[in-house]
């Protein structure tokens, strides 16, 4: 599950969104673990430079600590998703605690998109959360958070695994900042040269609000 591109069996078992339309030359950049006052504004500057919109899976606790950074990324036109309140590991967190943590983050983030931290979520948690959320996994994980990997290696991972409809994971965290900030401009330029467009992951939050009115 933690290799750059997970296999079919994993994808079949964990029914979630791993990749978008394979017939469209579009990729979806996503950033996990922010908002961070040190890293998120620099990330926004790079995305603005290329006029690219992305989806940020925010940790509720970080939104609470840095509401101005959260507001900034919304103001720049990016989409947001829920990454739990306390970045919990689903496998080692009991069912109710996990669901309550997601609900707590939801009050701050208000999105129908949910990405389980580490991709670790039990079938029971997944089934329950799928009722209200689209569970977003990934097609390409850059592993930018790994200090043993260089920005060149991260760039290589992106070039090797990206394809139509790929959801690509970066992290706007201090741990990943060096690798991510150096790789991101190169990656965007390379992807553009390959003919890819960029899109945010559609969030049906508004539709659900309308349906429940
Ligand atoms: Zn995370």
Q: What is the pLDDT of residues 100-147, one digit of tens each?
A: 999 999 999 999 999 999 999 999 999 999 999 999 999 999 999 999
Q: Does 1 score more than 50 pLDDT? A: no
**Residue predicted with more confidence, 12 or 94:** 94
- Residue 196: strand, helix, or coil: coil
Q: How far is the CA of 211 from the centre of ligand 1 (A)?
A: 30
Q: Could you tell me if 69 and 211 are in contact, meaning their C-beta atoms sit under 8 angstroms apart?
A: no
pTM of the model as a whole? 0.93
How does pLDDT run across 136-155, given as a tens digit for each residue? 999 999 999 999 999 999 99
In the chain the domains, ranked by start, together with CATH numbers, are 8-212 (3.20.20.370)
Q: How far is the CA of 32 from the centre of ligand 1 (A)?
A: 5
**What is the pLDDT confidence band of residue 15, given thresholds at 50, 70 and 90?**
confident
Q: What is the pLDDT of residue 101?
A: 98
Residue with tokens 């933690």: 2
Please confirm, yes or no, whether 171 is among the known catalytic residues: yes
């Amino acid at each position: 599950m933690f290799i750059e591109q997970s296999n079919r069996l994993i994808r079949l078992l964990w029914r979630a969104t791993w990749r978008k339309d394979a017939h469209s030359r579009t990729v979806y950049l996503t950033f996990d673990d922010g908002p961070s006052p040190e890293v998120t504004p620099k990330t926004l500057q790079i995305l603005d430079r290329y006029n690219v919109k992305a989806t940020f899976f925010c940790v509720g606790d970080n939104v609470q600590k840095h509401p101005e950074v959260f507001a900034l990324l919304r103001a720049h036109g990016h989409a947001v998703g829920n990454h739990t309140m306390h970045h919990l590991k689903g496998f080692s967190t009991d069912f109710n605690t996990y669901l309550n943590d997601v609900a707590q983050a939801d009050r701050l983030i208000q999105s129908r998109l949910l990405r389980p931290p580490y991709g670790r979520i039990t079938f029971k948690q997944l089934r329950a959360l799928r009722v209200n959320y689209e569970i977003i996994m990934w097609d390409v994980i850059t592993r930018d958070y790994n200090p043993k990997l260089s920005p060149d290696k991260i760039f290589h991972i992106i070039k090797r695994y990206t394809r139509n409809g790929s959801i690509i994971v970066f992290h706007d965290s201090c741990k990943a900042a060096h690798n991510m900030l150096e790789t991101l401009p190169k990656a965007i330029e390379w992807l553009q040269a390959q003919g890819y467009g960029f899109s945010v992951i559609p969030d049906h939050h508004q539709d659900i609000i309308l349906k429940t009115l």
